Amino acid sequence: MSKANFLNLHPVLPVRDVPNAIRQYVDLLGFDLIFVDSQEDTRYAGIQRGNVMLHLQWHDESGFDSVEKLNLRFEIDNVDALFAEYENCGLFHEHTALRDTPWGTREFAFYDMDSNGLTFYRDL
């Protein structure tokens, strides 16, 4: 019997407020909104930039601290250009810097408003 091929991956990010997360990813990070589960009370959505699709899933504020946050690594063709695009978006923290790493990448990283880690890199 042949093995099934994995074709794609769509990580589901936990968020406290899906409409606010959509605004952050669309307005600040350049993603496009692909779908929402409801126009009235949005609790699940899909966003996409290039070939990367992410899903945003609502989690109640009262238990949000116990929800496991994700750390995502995005391979980017021009990480310097993306750093320049994001530099003034207000999401960088004091340690956000574009740097070459000992493991052979050029990268930068920050957290979204729900503490999901986003790292953008290219191989050197």
Provide the residue ranges of all domains of the chain, joining segments of one domain with +.
Answer: 12-60+70-123
What local confidence, expressed as pLDDT, does residue 1 receive? 85
CATH node for 12-60+70-123: 3.10.180.10
Query: Whole-angstrom Cα distance, residue 58 to residue 108?
Result: 27
pLDDT at 38 (0 to 100) = 94
Per-residue pLDDT at 11: 96
Distance CA 108, CA 119 (A): 6
Average pLDDT per block of 10 residues along the chain, 124 residues long: 90 97 97 96 97 96 90 97 94 94 97 96 97
